[in-house]
Amino acid sequence: MKWIIVTGDTGGLGSEIAQTILEDKEYGIIGISRKENEVTKALKKVYAERYIHINFDLENPNEIKKLYLEKIKKVGKIYGLVNNSAYAYDDIITNAKIDALETMFKINVYSPIMLTKCAIRDMLLYQTKGSIVHITSVCAHTGYKGLSMYAATKGALEAFSKTTAREWGEIGIRSNCVAPGFMETNMSTTLSREQKDRIYRRTSLKLATDPKSVGETVRFLISEKSSSITGQVLHVDNGTI
């Protein structure tokens, strides 16, 4: 079994990524999020032997080594990591609050870095040619009012991914990013219909991004079909302009 860690598996995009990967029977998923919900229960019911959920709060990056040693490592060799979980602190920069910023950077940057550390060490131990995928955002490439601080976390993750690819590519470990556009998920529920329509009009297709399309892109990057792709950011955003 090729085990893939997917964070934020209880959310709309995370569950779509997990399910899309599970459609390929050679993979198993280790899902990580704060607590189980109806989505994780449904995945367990369908993929009982290939889906494991672990309750863990990614606001605690200092505990990730313990998480790996006590729970993840016992499951099996790690072939992939999908850093999907994210926290969005939306506000203009003149209203920035350090506590909210620290929470966002812990979840969006520090924990993905520490999970990547553990995943790569596991791959080195078992001489696995693995694949790491970071879910970033169109926000890191084009400006949206109120999202400068969130965009900063996603830009940091993209810079981290590119250098990770350079450091470990020689032994077959790849690192890439997928930058989705705006989707109809829990993270967009605070936006009004008018705000959403204004965002979608900035895309070439004039639509919300399809989470299934993002999931298929992630599965491709996890698989050996993308063996020559590393250090890249793939945009799945309906052609945002």
pLDDT means over runs of 10, the chain (241 residues): 97 96 97 95 94 98 98 98 95 95 98 98 98 95 89 97 98 98 69 72 86 97 98 94 71
For position 186, what pLDDT does the model report? 62
Kindly list the domain boundaries of the chain, sorted by start residue: 2-236
How many angstroms separate the CA atoms of 106 and 61, rounded?
Answer: 7
Give residue 132's pLDDT: 98
Cα distances (Å, whole numbers) of residue 198 to 122, 146, 151, 195, 206: 44, 14, 19, 5, 9
Residue type, 209: T
- Nearest in space to 199 (alpha carbons), one of 149, 160, 146, 158: 146
Domain 2-236 has CATH 3.40.50.720: yes
Helices (H), 28-110: 38-46, 64-67, 73-75, 98-105
pLDDT at site 151: 95
* 3-state SS, residue 92: coil
Structure tokens at 42: 């449904």
pLDDT for res 160: 98
Rounded alpha-carbon distances, angstroms, from residue 44 to 106, 138, 155: 28, 31, 34
At CA 49, angle to CA 43 and CA 50, rounded to 5? 65
Q: What is the DSSP string of 187-213?
A: GGTTS-HHHHHHHHTTBSS-SPPPHHH
Say which residues have a Cβ less than 8 Å from residue 86's Cβ, sequence separation at least 6.
Answer: 8, 107, 108, 135, 137, 153, 187
